[in-house]
Structure 1
Amino acid sequence: MKKLVFISVLSLFSCKRNNPVHPPVGGVLSQNDLDVSKNRMRNLNAIERQQIQEWIKGQNEKFFPTQLNYWTNVEGFDHRERRPDDSPISYSYDLYDFDQTKIYDKSISRADARFGHFDELKAVENALRYMKNGEEVTLLVPSSLAYGTYGDQNKIDNDIPLIIKLKAL
């Protein structure tokens, strides 16, 4: 009986020793883990940028790169006057994949949002700062500026670049 207990305890300890330790969500990662993640995102971003540029070549409409790493169909877009923080804006947008399939049937809309105080995709908030009231623009956004490595936990998977049709109301 003692042998059976000893073998059971020994096997439990040996199993426990071989399990990799994963930090909890929001936990602390080592510098090596952070470097691996940073390199993964850098490589993914380079691949997505190349794929988006190839997609643009097949389009009739012209797209222009912006300083924040997305494209828009308006030349000189991010060289316009920039809206200040705390200024209000109302807007709506639709999300598409690069097959130009609309992801959600209903547009995403916000009324009287204030810059610096609303939680939005980085590319959307940045583009809204340069848009004129009533203007519509199309954004081509790599996944790092969209829903990133987690997706939206609904219809948008992780690491998916998006086409965003944005309107400043």
Structure 2
Amino acid sequence: MKNSIFLIFIGLLVLSCVNPVPRNPIVKNSGFLMEQSVSLNKSLIKNEENTFLEIIKKDSLNNYETSSYGFWFTYNKKGNTAYLPKFGDVVSYTYDVFDINNSKIYGNEEIGIKEYAIDQQEIVEGLRDGLKIMHEGDNVTFLFPSHKMYGYLGDHNKIDINQPLIYKVQLIKINKKNESN
């Protein structure tokens, strides 16, 4: 009896030292969905870019610039200061939102005057980056691709999913974080 218990113990000891064999997944991910998603996004961005280039071509009265942030803009009115807002500065601004057919979605009368502490609060990416390139008193029209605004979600109200937008923004005041800026 002692020998059989001893043999069972040795057998269990030997079996416990064997490396586990990894299990193979039942379903292998081919990456097809990811490739399809990337392809769809590239197509969407290209279509939006072409739409904006057509808008720019038709608007011969304004000179549009391409920003390093991935959108286009033109100055409707330039302010008379050289200072650009920096981290922590609080800007006061108003804006109107239009679709690419220039139909108003939201007006500044219903939005009111907004305040934003540069890079310290959450607002949509396009507007956040657009405010950084404005001077006090500037009135700028921005052409924002959907991925810079509300993207796949829309705003759950008037802005649809993947909707490129035109923003007309007036930067009223820049309150500097401190006077050493």
Q: Same fold (TM over 0.5)?
A: yes
How many corresponding residue pairs? 136
Q: Which has the larger radius of gyration?
A: 2
RMSD over equivalenced CA pairs, Å: 2.4
Consecutive unaligned residues in structure 1, runs of 5 or more? 1-29, 75-79
Q: Deviations over 1:120-139 (max 9, x none)?
A: 12111111112111211000
**Superposition pairs of residues 1-169 of structure 1, within 5 angstroms:** 33-59=33-59, 60-74=61-75, 82-105=84-107, 106-169=109-172
Q: Deviations over 1:34-87 (max 9, x none)?
A: 44333322221111101110121111322111111111114xxxxx86532111
Corresponding position of 2:16 = none
Corresponding position of 2:4 = none
Q: Deviations over 1:72-131 (max 9, x none)?
A: 114xxxxx8653211111111110012111112435345442112222121111111121
Tell me how far apart the structure 1 counterparts of residues 86 and 36 of structure 2 sit (CA, whole Å): 36
1:33 Cα deviation after fit:
4.2
3-state SS of 1:123 partner: helix
Tell me how far apart the structure 2 counterparts of residues 35 and 116 of structure 1 sit (CA, whole Å): 33
Code of the residue aligned with 2:63 in structure 1: it is K
> Structure 1 residues 82, 158: CA separation in 2 closer, same or farther (over 3 Å shift)?
same
> Structure 1 residues 85, 33: CA separation in 2 closer, same or farther (over 3 Å shift)?
farther
Paired residues of 2:83 and 2:136 also in contact (CA < 8 A) = no
Consecutive unaligned residues in structure 2, runs of 5 or more? 1-29, 76-81, 173-181
Code of the residue aligned with 2:54 in structure 1: it is E
Corresponding position of 1:24 = none
Code of the residue aligned with 1:91 in structure 2: it is Y
Tell me how far apart the structure 2 counterparts of residues 107 and 130 of structure 1 sit (CA, whole Å): 25
Identity %: 27
Code of the residue aligned with 2:73 in structure 1: it is T
> Structure 1 residues 109, 125: CA separation in 2 closer, same or farther (over 3 Å shift)?
farther
